[in-house]
Structure 1
């Protein structure tokens, strides 16, 4: 098959090419308009990402095995280094993100576990690895599935991160960390924030439904609203009320003062005794070309 040929070529390259050539082969990025369109942009830009996108597990395994056996490749392959050249220069995706955007649950599990490759434990993809700067910058796999509205992949990743507490027949109790889910985190791309965005997808917003994961996300929003949101909303509304009230009072006061000074100047300038006419800047006439030379009084 074509994958068998690819495996042979990868092994041949790892044993014969020099360091610079290996970097060019495994870290080279695809360029051109063709790779910027759909669905090519979802395949990543490196050889490893393309193997992941097409579920070529044997090819991925061969690349990792060559990393373990070839000294020249030690620093070339790093599927978790989002600051390095392993990330796609267009989308910022690493191999595990490529598996997520293409809905490849089996490939996701393979990258996280690397079964049968004991010497490549450092190359296991981390569940919290974020994308680099790009179209989908700074998103971990769970956040990426949330933004794309892929509920099936979201459930799979969440179950992978959960720990089974107990089982009783068909009932299972899970425990999971809220890192990357709760909006209290250091990132602004947590699941709760992605769902609440105004430009989120229809499928993403429906993660708030009671039927989705037994209302897990919905319950989190309710808990945060009851604990913090309601109080913060009341404080902001009270501050807004006083701010608007202050603007109304100030505008009415200025309007009253303007009318008062205008009336005083009018009466003073029309007084029969010139000694009663005030000589202050508030009642001095002025004219301009814009108003046709009409005298105006402040």
Structure 2
């Protein structure tokens, strides 16, 4: 209810009550009091026009924008202002224009409508027109910290996942209009900045590795100037981050704004999205490790304690620097970037949960088996040597949990070698308990959990990869915005458009019909509350053009059907071509595909003759006759109908038994007739299959039938004394 506004006018605007709004604005008693651009909500900072934007009703927003004068009392001051900012409040949205508010809420239809509402037509030639979209509320180079391109970076669902606003960067919103703006910035300055930072990182990372490798060398054999080189590069890198932070603070209220909790939270979230905390940790570890190396070189001797700390610092710095460098290199490449994102998400989501779960079971089996292991003080048993000591047992369990390396259990003569005979039964029972937990541990830890984790990773990898395109685009735009903060003013403007009459704008060439009806199409697709989908009338000319294209498709299908004749393979080809022409996926059996094609033709208002031609009413020219909508009848000239009846003439050689030969001929005729029925059924089923798996199965069945036929003929010939 916070989006309804705190006034009756805001409530009426949110719910699209046009009559009520017109009455309230035109009534003589309220004409000087009520205004769409005044009296914001004290809690959320929304004006009545913003309350209408939060409803997502395009017709209501159009109505408020058209209120240039209801009568002589409401002229020139009652229409909504597209550049009106929400009033900043503690529980509100901040200072946002109506367009930025629609983007923040992820309303694609309303955001596109308001972007095109601000567009200016430059020229028009036939069905194509050129428009200029002002970038003052869109481009991140503007003075506002809440521009559309910046909102795409900052908005999520509160759990670190992409929110509704970030969905606008995909191609489903205005054919990727917003992402193309980031690409323009990438081409102009962000690519050069990335190359510069990668070179600086490599020039710092390679000497850092050399410093770490030289720890084991004698002091006089080390390169004395290498630590100073690394520290200089690290200072340059952290200096660039400090410069970006200062530029961000300048856009968001300066250092004084950090006194508020919300500003500190925004700064911390921005630093986390751009991995600045990781860069700070790498800087501190690098400076500490190289500083210790410089101190040792100046002192002339090595301290063992400092060297141990130096090893830890340099190892951590090298690892984090490699991870950051690989992520930076993958930014401009979509396939590498998606793979990197998938790996990061797997390591940050599924892996910690599985490690905690696996660690709990590992600790359980370690304590249980160590307690059940029948060994006394200062005694060593060969049953399971790692469990003679707690540390070796923990090491063995850790290896089993992580690498799958198993530790053995050897019973041997342990059942009878116990020194005290009186406790032999209890000792053997104790050993049986240990053996039970040992095999249970191997079954769960080595077999079940590891394979379950592999299956979980495979499923997660496929699921994350499907949504990783959005994540890669978000990383790409964050890098572009970060590079924009580093861009000095003397290098030129960083706008993504071109300067037209003193204003920065993006010029697009769009079809006139598409541009005129885009917002209405979006509105019709969104408003399904009434239960019926509204259509868009594109005019008689558009209908005739669409009908002509459809007739051409039908005639093409009819012509290919006539050329196909009675060939089954040609029928498959015709149906595949028909699917391609009508934009239908080739799924299911041949009968199902024809049924889908017929329904598509009916949906596109096909002429009766065209539908009859495709459905195969003319059996002489169409190889795809149908029985209503149930399926496909086999053609008359099928292979099963052309197989002649088989007859085997008996010829008795001298010395052969006539009865045996007659029996052999009779059996052979029965086998051949049986094989003929198999061939007929296989041929009949061939008309109904389209997938490679079914064809392979039929081929395999035919081969089995041939082998069985040859085998039976051989057995019959052998039993009757003849030759096969």
- So what's the TM-score if we normalise by structure 1? 0.64
Give the alignment partner of residue 63 of structure 1, picking from 24, 30, 44: 24
Which residue in 1 is equivalent to 2:187? Answer: 226
Determine helix, strand or coil for the equivalent of 1:210.
coil
Q: CA deviation at 1:145?
A: 1.2
Corresponding position: 1:44 with 2:5: yes
- In 1, are the aligned partners of 2:45 and 2:88 still within 8 Å (CA)? yes
Give the alignment partner of residue 194 of structure 1, picking from 151, 155, 159: 151
After superposition, where does 1:240-279 map in structure 2 within 5 Å? 241=204, 242-243=233-234, 244=283, 248-257=289-298, 260=301
Determine helix, strand or coil for the equivalent of 2:301.
helix
Which residue in 1 is equivalent to 2:79? Answer: 124
Which residue in 2 is equivalent to 1:79? Answer: 36
Note the residue ranges of structure 2 that are not aligned, 5 or more in a row: 205-232, 235-282, 305-724
* Cα distance, 1:53–1:261 mapped onto 2, change above 3 Å: closer
The alignment covers a number of residue pairs equal to 216
- In 1, are the aligned partners of 2:123 and 2:130 still within 8 Å (CA)? yes
Which residue in 1 is equivalent to 2:721? Answer: none
Give the alignment partner of residue 98 of structure 2, picking from 141, 144, 156: 141
Determine helix, strand or coil for the equivalent of 1:214.
coil
> C-alpha deviations, 1:145-183, integer Å up to 9, x for none?
111111111111111111223444543332221011000
Q: CA deviation at 1:203?
A: 3.3
Structure 2: distance between partners of 1:115 and 1:129: 16
Structure 2: distance between partners of 1:64 and 1:230: 53
When the two chains are superposed, the root-mean-square deviation of aligned CA atoms in Å is: 2.7
- In 1, are the aligned partners of 2:53 and 2:98 still within 8 Å (CA)? yes
Which residue in 2 is equivalent to 1:156? Answer: 113
- The structure in which a higher percent of residues are helix is 2
* Cα distance, 1:118–1:226 mapped onto 2, change above 3 Å: farther
User: Larger C-alpha radius of gyration, 1 or 2?
Assistant: 2
- In 2, are the aligned partners of 1:52 and 1:95 still within 8 Å (CA)? yes
> C-alpha deviations, 1:272-295, integer Å up to 9, x for none?
xxxxxxxxxxxxxxxxxxxxxxxx
Q: CA deviation at 1:91?
A: 1.6
Determine helix, strand or coil for the equivalent of 2:50.
helix
Determine helix, strand or coil for the equivalent of 1:111.
helix
Q: CA deviation at 1:114?
A: 0.6
Structure 1: distance between partners of 2:144 and 2:133: 19
After superposition, where does 1:99-114 map in structure 2 within 5 Å? 99-114=52-67
- In 2, are the aligned partners of 1:151 and 1:203 still within 8 Å (CA)? no
Corresponding position: 1:203 with 2:203: no
- So what's the TM-score if we normalise by structure 2? 0.28
* Cα distance, 1:259–1:197 mapped onto 2, change above 3 Å: farther
Determine helix, strand or coil for the equivalent of 2:130.
strand
Structure 1: distance between partners of 2:112 and 2:132: 14
Determine helix, strand or coil for the equivalent of 1:213.
coil
Which residue in 1 is equivalent to 2:587? Answer: none
